């Protein structure tokens, strides 16, 4: 039986922010998400999160998880934080203690650590070339663990030790209670160090993969760890048949799906909840969020797609925006500087440039000319535009909703349409053109004279 305690009470002063450290964005999620999801993946009896600085904000965010929260009212150190959690720990369980700012730890490592640990108290250590900032592991001549010394309390010889403490501990509840009682703040920080539960004969698990233990205490470290996570995700998709032109320059959230033979160009962001089909082309500077892209779709440069569903063999962009509720049935073309919102376009329909389509249902094989607008908002309410099949809409046309356009309709360029159009009709709304003889030249000469 296992209880996991996550320590997330630190102030994060080196982040230089009014925001709690564990709520910083990290490769598409909050920092605290990584620790909680990892803890839950172990299927423990209970997960306890210890909060301190700005606890209300963090508690509100993690309320979506099935975890218990305790508050460390005074920042008296990591041992005090665990003491705060003791009343919530399940009796008779083993206690795994994790940090809330180490997102590279994985389930495989922890499962092996728990399985191989036989001592009442154990911890994970690793060896690094540059141990600055970490507690050093002291061992005797038989290589048994003596203690852990925090860097600020190390002498010069101890600072040269390469084996460091990861900050991950495993203990029986009974042993943990006894050890926590005896801890005193006899150190330079005058804090209650959790490292003091490690005494002569404690168990140690040495991990060879030191990169997993990178913690985050500054924005620079946040950036470094984010880059590692982005690269891990890119490698996952590369190994599953996706072509990524520059794996170091794409930003893929961890729950997305990408089909084989799809090509991802540099500086593409694909956010949570998105599914990309097979043999798609996603060009530079595209952002896709919570959207479904079918097979053989081409998303051109600089397009933004949010909450949309794009049918197969469609082309979007460059510089197009599909907002929430957009549905393209397939074989569609949405060109440069076209915005679509809460609208459906039937098979083969297209709007090639400089148009706005909002709150509309467009039929099959509709051609929408440049400068088209659905006037869907009257200042109070939104209204619907319905267009039938095989309609040709000329350039610079406005459809003032609510309005219905039948099948096989032609709408002349420059028209403002305020009444329904029956199938097979031609609709034109223009004032009569007048040519005033010679007036153009007179106006131009007058303008040039004024400029002089």
Give catalytic residue positions.
353
C-alpha closest to that of 408 among 428, 387, 391, 386:
391
Cα–Cα distance between 346 and 333 in angstroms, integer? 11
Region of 140 on the Ramachandran plot (φ > 0 left; ψ -120 to 50 alpha; else beta) = beta
Please, which contacts does 371-375 make with residues 24 or more away whose CB atoms are closer than 8 Å? 371/395, 371/396, 371/397, 372/396, 372/397, 372/398, 372/399, 373/397, 373/398, 373/399, 374/343, 374/398, 374/399, 374/401, 375/399, 375/400, 375/401
Cα–Cα distance between 7 and 81 in angstroms, integer? 7
Tokens of 391: 């309609």
3-state secondary structure 312-328: CCCEECCCCEECCCCEE
Length in residues, the chain: 452
For the chain, how far is it from start to end, CA to CA, in angstroms? 91
- Determine if the peptide bond prior to 318 is cis (ω within 30°): yes
C-alpha closest to that of 323 among 361, 279, 287:
287
C-alpha closest to that of 78 among 98, 103, 106, 59:
98
- Determine if the peptide bond prior to 402 is cis (ω within 30°): yes
Coil, helix or strand at residue 15: helix
Coil, helix or strand at residue 217: coil
Residue 286's φ and ψ, nearest 5 degrees, are: -90, 145
Residue 132's φ and ψ, nearest 5 degrees, are: -55, 130
Answer positive or negative: Cα dihedral of 84, 85, 88, 92. Answer: negative
The count of other CB atoms within 10 Å of the CB of residue 431 is: 6
């Amino acid at each position: 039986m296992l209880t996991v305690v996550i320590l997330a009470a630190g102030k994060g002063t080196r982040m230089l922010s009014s925001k709690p450290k564990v709520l910083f964005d990290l490769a598409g999620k909050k920092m605290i998400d990584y620790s909680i999801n990892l803890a839950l993946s172990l299927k423990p009896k209970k997960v306890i999160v210890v909060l301190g600085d700005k606890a209300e904000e963090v508690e509100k965010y993690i309320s979506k998880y099935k975890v218990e929260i305790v508050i460390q009212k005074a920042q008296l150190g990591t041992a005090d934080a665990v003491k705060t959690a003791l009343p919530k720990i399940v009796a008779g369980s083993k206690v795994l203690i994790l940090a809330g700012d180490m997102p590279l730890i994985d389930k495989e490592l922890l499962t092996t650590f728990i399985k191989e640990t036989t001592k009442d108290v154990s911890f994970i250590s690793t060896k690094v070339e540059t141990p600055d900032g970490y507690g050093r592991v002291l061992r005797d001549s038989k290589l048994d663990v003596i203690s852990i010394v925090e860097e600020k309390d190390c002498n010069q010889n101890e600072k040269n030790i390469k084996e460091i403490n990861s900050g991950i501990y495993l203990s029986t509840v009974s042993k943990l209670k006894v050890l926590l009682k005896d801890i005193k703040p006899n150190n330079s920080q005058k804090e209650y160090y959790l490292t003091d539960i490690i005494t002569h004969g404690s168990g140690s698990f040495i991990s060879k993969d030191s990169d997993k233990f990178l913690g985050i205490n500054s924005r620079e470290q946040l950036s470094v760890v984010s880059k590692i996570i982005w690269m891990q995700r890119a490698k996952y998709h590369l190994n599953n048949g996706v072509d990524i032109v520059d794996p170091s320059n794409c930003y893929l959230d961890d729950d997305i799906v990408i089909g084989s033979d799809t090509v991802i160009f540099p500086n593409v962001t694909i956010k949570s909840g998105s599914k990309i089909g097979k043999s798609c082309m996603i060009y530079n500077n595209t952002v896709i969020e919570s959207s479904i892209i079918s097979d053989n779709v081409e998303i051109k440069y600089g397009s933004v797609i949010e909450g949309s569903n794009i049918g197969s063999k469609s082309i979007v962009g460059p510089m197009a925006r599909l907002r929430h509720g957009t549905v393209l049935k397939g074989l569609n073309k949405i060109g440069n500087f076209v915005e679509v919102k809460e609208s459906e376009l039937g098979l083969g329909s297209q709007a090639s440039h400089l148009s706005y389509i909002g709150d509309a249902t467009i039929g099959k094989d509709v051609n929408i000319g440049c400068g088209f607008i659905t006037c869907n908002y009257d200042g109070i309410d939104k209204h619907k535009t319905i267009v039938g099949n095989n309609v040709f809409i000329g350039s610079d046309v406005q459809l003032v909703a609510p309005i219905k356009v039948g099948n096989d309709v032609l709408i002349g360029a420059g028209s403002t349409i305020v009444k329904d159009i029956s199938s097979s009709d031609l609709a034109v709304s223009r004032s009569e053109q007048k040519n005033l003889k010679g007036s153009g030249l007179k106006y131009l000469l007058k303008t040039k004279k004024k400029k002089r």
